[in-house]
């Protein structure tokens, strides 16, 4: 048979646009996925101890986009959840991002909002042209807080100094002049009540959607009749690495199950200066699951492995730009998502981009 649409990748980007095509256009969709499961990097499952864990690292849904929230709410109920993170520095856990509570606990003070403002202002470094992640922190918080919270963490995370990274890397982390210890302040926050995989299964539960797992699309694409291709995989792979392989940062995941009810004081703890790992996630604190044991995840950033993060330096932005320019000339092929666009996307960004692409495709039908 001939498919109006073939989608490469069964992550949130691919599933969102597949669901829209199947339901709104009432057209057949074939999804080709190289992994043995759907849901992409948000895939979760119950481990041998019966604890729900996220295989590719922790994910927390948050957005100010009502359209995205309402769309996903068709496929899941939500567990009310406000993500909180602590940073282990100087032998203590303190709230992160930096807020009044962070400074008060770190320096044993009792600052007011006005005093917090003065505290930070007196430490800021004046930088006329903020270009790097190091510039962002120095101009917002000063040298001491930069070295305590950011310098070594960034080196572990990316393998390079913050002085070499684009300013957008750390610009995503806020500095607060209040006592709000939540990591995100978005209007809509939560965890899918029964997990991300269950949500993903609901998204593709339609007779118009066919899925092939454990399949490299290049092995079969020349044997399929189709009108349009929506590609969510690595853009350099699509073009046979004609400009060379793009650089990504990966993470080695180390899961541990402990015979404890609670392992740490928060769902996520950062380790900027101690140990080789960057953070520990305790999944029960994300999902609200009640269990006598607990499973944690230690993350060790590395260069080899699954391509998680596009590398945010000027060198790789230039190479990615060449690939994106080449992609513009592909007729009836559309590139969508973090890997296909070589851009960092949060979950809501991915879903919004997929909905926008569908609106474009719908308008030209």
Catalytic positions are 172, 176, 249, 279, 299, 344, 346
DSSP annotation string for 86-146? EEEETTEEEEES--HHHHHHHHT----HHHHHHHHHTTPPP-SS--BHHHHHHHHT-HHHI
Question: Do 29 and 22 contact (CB within 8 A), yes or no?
Answer: yes
Q: Hunting for tokens 């932005």 — which residue is that?
A: 317
Rounded to whole angstroms, the Cα distance separating 50 from 67 reads 34
* Residue 208 DSSP SS3: coil
Question: Do 219 and 4 contact (CB within 8 A), yes or no?
Answer: no
Q: What's the gap between Cα 64 and its chain centre?
A: 16
**Helix, strand, coil content of the chain in percent (nearest 5):** 35, 25, 40
At 53, which helix (H) or strand (E)?
A: strand 52-54
Provide the greatest CA pair distance for the chain. 70
Rounded to whole angstroms, the Cα distance separating 308 from 252 reads 11
Rounded to whole angstroms, the Cα distance separating 356 from 348 reads 12
DSSP annotation string for 240-294? TTTT-PPPEEEEEEEEEEESSS-SSSSSEEE-SSSSS-SEEEEHHHHH----SSE
């Amino acid at each position: 048979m001939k498919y109006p649409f073939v989608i490469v990748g069964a992550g949130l980007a691919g599933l969102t646009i597949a669901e829209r095509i199947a339901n709104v256009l009432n057209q057949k969709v074939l999804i080709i996925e190289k992994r043995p499961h759907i849901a992409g990097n948000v895939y979760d499952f119950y481990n041998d101890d019966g604890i729900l864990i996220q295989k590719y690292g922790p994910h927390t849904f948050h957005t100010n986009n009502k359209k995205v929230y309402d769309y996903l709410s068709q496929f899941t109920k939500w567990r009310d959840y406000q993500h909180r993170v602590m940073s282990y520095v100087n032998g203590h856990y303190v709230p992160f991002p930096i807020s009044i509570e962070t400074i008060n606990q770190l320096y044993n003070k009792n600052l007011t909002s006005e005093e917090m403002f003065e505290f930070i202002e007196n430490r800021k470094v004046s930088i006329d042209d903020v270009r790097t992640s190091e510039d962002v922190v120095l101009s917002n918080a000063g040298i001491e807080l930069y070295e305590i919270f950011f310098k070594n963490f960034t080196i572990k995370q990316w393998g390079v100094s913050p002085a070499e990274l684009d300013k957008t890397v750390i610009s995503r982390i806020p500095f607060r002049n209040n006592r709000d210890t939540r990591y995100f302040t978005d209007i809509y926050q939560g965890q899918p009540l029964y997990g991300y995989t269950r949500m993903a299964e609901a998204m593709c539960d339609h007779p118009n959607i066919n899925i092939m797992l454990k399949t490299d699309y290049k092995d079969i694409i020349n044997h399929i009749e189709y009108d349009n291709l929506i590609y969510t995989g690595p853009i350099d792979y699509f073009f046979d690495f004609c400009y060379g392989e793009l650089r990504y940062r990966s993470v080695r995941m180390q899961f541990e199950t402990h015979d404890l009810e609670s392992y740490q004081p928060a769902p996520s703890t950062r380790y900027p200066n101690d140990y080789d790992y960057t953070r520990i996630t305790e999944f029960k604190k994300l999902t609200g699951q009640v269990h006598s044991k607990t499973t944690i995840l230690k993350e060790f950033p590395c260069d080899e492995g699954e391509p998680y993060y596009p590398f945010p330096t000027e060198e790789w932005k230039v190479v990615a730009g060449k690939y994106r320019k080449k992609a513009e000339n592909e007729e009836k092929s559309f590139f969508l998502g973090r890997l296909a666009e070589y851009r960092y996307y949060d979950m809501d960004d991915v879903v919004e981009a997929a909905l926008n692409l569908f609106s474009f495709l719908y308008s030209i039908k």
